[in-house]
C-alpha cells in the first residue's frame, strides 16, 4: 500500500470516528434536555389556592319571587254630612280610633234652630190632628179632611226627625276602626256637605296585591305561606298567606291577581311600603345542597369543581331549587363530596390546588411548631460557624 493511500484511509477512519462521537454526544444531550424540560414542567405546575365546602343535606323551598306595594284591606275617607264651621277636632294624625268615636264637631246653632222650628210645627199639627180626630169620630168632618191632616202631620214628623238627624251629623264620627292617616280640616274652617275631614286606614291586616303570569297559575294556591321583606326592617321577615286568587286572567297583560295577607301584630309595616314577596309553593326536606357560590354557569350548563387527592376536577351537575345561600343538586354529586366555593374561576380540569382557611393559611401544609423552628435556626447557625472556621 502506498503512503498516499494509507494517509487517505487513516483520514477517513478519523473522520468517521469523529462523526460517530458527535452523533452519540448529541443524542445524550437531547435526552438530557428532554428529561430536564419534563422536570421543569413538573416543577412549574401552578398550584391554585382555593377554599372548599362540603356537600350537605337539608330542606329547601321553591318559591315565586316578586315585588309589591303594601296596601290596607280597609280604609275610609271620612266626610261631613252637613256643612258648617269647624268648632273643634278630637284626634290627630297617627291616633288610633274606634268605629263611632267622635272626630270633628261642627257648629250646631243653625241646626238647633231648625230642630226647634220643626218641633213647634209638629206640635201644632199634632194639636190640629187631635181636634179633627175628635170631630171626625162624631161625624162632623169629612174623612177627606181628616186624612189630609193626618198626612200633613206625618210629613211634619219626618221633617222633625230629619232636623234631629242633621243635628247628630254635626258630630263627625269614625266609620271604621283604624289609624288617622290624614287630617283635612282646621278649627274655624268652613266646610261644605260631603267635604273630606279625615282619612282612616286600618293597618291590620295589610295586603300585598300582585299580578302573576298565567304560566304560574298551577303553582299558586290559596293558603300557601308567603314571606315579605321590607327595607325599613331588613332584619325581620314578615309571614303571610295567599288569601284570594282571581278566577280570571287579564287578557291584556296575561296575568291573574293574587292577594296576600300579611300578619304584623307589632305594626312595623305601613301602607305604601315597597316589599319583596316570596310565595312558597313546594318544599323538599332531605336534598343535597351546596354553597351557591360554588356554581359556575355557561351555555345553560351548570358545573362545580370537585376536590379529590389535592386536585380539582370539573363536574357537571343538574340543579334543582335554589335560595339565597344554597343550590339543590339533583344529579352529579353525592354525600361526602367536597367542592370549591372560592377561587374556582382560576381553575381548569385536573388543576392542582392548595386549600386555604379563612385566614388565608394553607390547610395542606401543617404549620411548623415553635420548637422545630428553633432547632432549624440553631442548625443553620452551627453550619454557618463551621463554614467560617
The answer to whether residue 163 is domain-embedded is yes
If phi > 0 it is left, if psi is from -120 to 50 it is alpha, else beta; for residue 299 that is left
* Boundary (domain end) residue, out of 283, 316, 340: 283
pLDDT of residue 132: 87
pLDDT of residue 128: 87
Q: Is 272 found in the same domain as 292? A: no
A 10 A CB-CB count for 82 gives 20
Distance (Å, whole) CA 210 – CA 63: 14
Kind of pairing between the strands at 238-245 and 255-262:
antiparallel
The answer to whether residue 81 is domain-embedded is no
A 10 A CB-CB count for 382 gives 10
Concatenated DSSP letters for 332-346? S--TT-EEEEESGGG
The conformation of residue 293, written as its DSSP 8-state character, comes to G
Helices (H), 109-260: 109-137, 143-169
The answer to whether residue 336 is domain-embedded is yes
Cell 415553635 sits on residue: 370
CATH number of the CATH domain containing 229: 2.40.30.170
Q: What DSSP element (H or E) covers 204?
A: strand 196-213
State yes or no: cis peptide before 205, omega within 30 of 0.
yes
Q: Is 317 found in the same domain as 307? A: yes
Nine cell digits for residue 162: 230629619
Q: Which domain holds residue 161?
A: 108-169
The answer to whether residue 299 is domain-embedded is yes
Q: Is 213 found in the same domain as 158? A: no
Distance (Å, whole) CA 292 – CA 339: 11
Tens of pLDDT along the chain (389 residues)?
444 544 554 555 444 555 455 444 554 544 445 555 555 545 567 888 999 999 999 999 999 999 999 999 999 999 999 999 999 999 999 999 999 999 999 999 999 999 999 999 999 889 888 888 888 888 888 888 888 888 998 999 999 999 999 999 999 999 999 999 999 999 999 999 999 999 999 988 899 999 999 999 999 999 999 999 999 888 899 999 999 999 999 999 999 999 999 988 888 999 999 999 999 999 999 999 999 999 998 888 999 999 999 899 999 999 999 888 899 999 999 999 999 999 888 888 988 998 887 777 776 655 445 555 555 555 555 555 555 54
Nine cell digits for residue 281: 309553593
Instruction: Name the nearest CA neighbour of 230 among 270, 197, 193, 290.
Output: 270
**Cβ within 8 Å of residue 217, ≥6 positions away:** 249, 256
CA 90 to chain centre: 39
The conformation of residue 36, written as its DSSP 8-state character, comes to H
CATH number of the CATH domain containing 312: 2.40.420.20
pLDDT of residue 188: 94
Q: What is the pTM of this model?
A: 0.64
Is 264 within 8 Å of 23 (Cβ atoms)?
A: no
Distance (Å, whole) CA 140 – CA 226: 81
Nine cell digits for residue 322: 335554589
The total number of structural domains that make up the chain: 3
The answer to whether residue 85 is domain-embedded is no
Amino acid at each position: 500500500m502506498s503512503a498516499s493511500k494509507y494517509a487517505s484511509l487513516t483520514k477517513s477512519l478519523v473522520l468517521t470516528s469523529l462523526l460517530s462521537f458527535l452523533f452519540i454526544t448529541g443524542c445524550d444531550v437531547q435526552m438530557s434536555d428532554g428529561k430536564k424540560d419534563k422536570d421543569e414542567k413538573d416543577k412549574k405546575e401552578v398550584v391554585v389556592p382555593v377554599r372548599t365546602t362540603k356537600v350537605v343535606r337539608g330542606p329547601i323551598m321553591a318559591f315565586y319571587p316578586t315585588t309589591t306595594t303594601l296596601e290596607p284591606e280597609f280604609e275610609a275617607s271620612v266626610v261631613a254630612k252637613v256643612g258648617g264651621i269647624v268648632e273643634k277636632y278630637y284626634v290627630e294624625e297617627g291616633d288610633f280610633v274606634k268605629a263611632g268615636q267622635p272626630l270633628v264637631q261642627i257648629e250646631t246653632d243653625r241646626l238647633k234652630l231648625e230642630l226647634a222650628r220643626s218641633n213647634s210645627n209638629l206640635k201644632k199639627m199634632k194639636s190640629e190632628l187631635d181636634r179633627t180626630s175628635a170631630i171626625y169620630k162624631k161625624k162632623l168632618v169629612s174623612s177627606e179632611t181628616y186624612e189630609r191632616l193626618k198626612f200633613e202631620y206625618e210629613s211634619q214628623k219626618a221633617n222633625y226627625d230629619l232636623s234631629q238627624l242633621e243635628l247628630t251629623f254635626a258630630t263627625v264620627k269614625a266609620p271604621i276602626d283604624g289609624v288617622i292617616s290624614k287630617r283635612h280640616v282646621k278649627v274655624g274652617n268652613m266646610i261644605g256637605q260631603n267635604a273630606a275631614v279625615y282619612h282612616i286606614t286600618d293597618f291590620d291586616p295589610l295586603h300585598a296585591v300582585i299580578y302573576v303570569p298565567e304560566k304560574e297559575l298551577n303553582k299558586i294556591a290559596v293558603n300557601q305561606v308567603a314571606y315579605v321583606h321590607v327595607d325599613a326592617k331588613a332584619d325581620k321577615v314578615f309571614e303571610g298567606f295567599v288569601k284570594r286568587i282571581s278566577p280570571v286572567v287579564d287578557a291584556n297583560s296575561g296575568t291573574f291577581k293574587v292577594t296576600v295577607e300579611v300578619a304584623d301584630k307589632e305594626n312595623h309595616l305601613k301602607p305604601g311600603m315597597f316589599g319583596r314577596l316570596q310565595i312558597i309553593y313546594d318544599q323538599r326536606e332531605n336534598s343535597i345542597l351546596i354553597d351557591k357560590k360554588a356554581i359556575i354557569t355557561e351555555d345553560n350548563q351548570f358545573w362545580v369543581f370537585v376536590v379529590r387527592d389535592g386536585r380539582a376536577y370539573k363536574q357537571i351537575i343538574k340543579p334543582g331549587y335554589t335560595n339565597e345561600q344554597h343550590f339543590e343538586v339533583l344529579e352529579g354529586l353525592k354525600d361526602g363530596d367536597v367542592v370549591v366555593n372560592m377561587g374556582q374561576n382560576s381553575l381548569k380540569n385536573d388543576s392542582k390546588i392548595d386549600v386555604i382557611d379563612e385566614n388565608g393559611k394553607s390547610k395542606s401544609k401543617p404549620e411548623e411548631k415553635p420548637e422545630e423552628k428553633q432547632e432549624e435556626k440553631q442548625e443553620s447557625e452551627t453550619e454557618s460557624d463551621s463554614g467560617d472556621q
